[in-house]
Amino acid sequence: MAGRLIYVVRHGRSEGAGTLLGQCDVDLTPEGMAQAEALAGRVRGVERVVSSDLRRAAQTAERIALRAGVAVELDARLREISYGAWDGRPWQPGVEPAESLEAFQARVGEAWQEICAGTARVTVVVAHQGVNAVILGDLGQSQEYGTAKRVEIP
């Protein structure tokens, strides 16, 4: 199917922002909820919404899905990289993820391939900074909370 569009969304601002949240399961802040609502009003023609199963992403996805009249598909492979015992703690120099970068990229890549194989004309994928960097191939780049980047699938 030609001419498909995927929006790659970073969840809205969440509790604990500025720490190594990793796989901590925290809620959106009121600001994050407002970001999700605003984004839901900007994306059009959404037929499918896929999200990390962590609350901050799922809450963002729920706002978009509700506006679009579709269900949210939760996928644990779209979780942020795990920092293990450091999840939820302030960043410190030298902290390494508990999950290897290779394993992280493999699980995200597998989920992304399945999403791209879908038939929806417009799909929204809601995930996290690191996940979206893997998907978009821009490790080291930043994506603001509650924003979307467009990916066109031929």
Q: Indicate if the pLDDT at residue 2 is higher than 70.
A: no
96 noted as active-site residue: no
What is the per-residue pLDDT for 86? 94
b/e map 26-56, b = 16+ CB within 10 Å: bebbeebbebbbebbeebeebbbbbbbbbbb
Residue of 15, 31, 62, 80 marked catalytic: 80
pLDDT tens, position by position, 10-59: 999 999 988 999 999 999 999 999 999 999 999 999 999 999 999 999 99
Cβ–Cβ < 8 Å for 40, 7: no
Q: Indicate if the pLDDT at residue 5 is higher than 50.
A: yes
pLDDT tens, position by position, 47-94: 999 999 999 999 999 999 999 999 999 999 999 999 999 999 998 889
3-state SS, residue 153: strand
Higher pLDDT, 147 or 135: 135
Sign, Cα dihedral of 90, 93, 94, 99: positive
What is the per-residue pLDDT for 1? 46
Q: Indicate if the pLDDT at residue 145 is higher than 90.
A: no
∠ Cα 7 43 76 (to 5°): 45
Token pair 């450091």: residue: 86
15 noted as active-site residue: no
Q: How far apart are CA 121 and CA 102, in angstroms?
A: 30
Token pair 């995200």: residue: 108
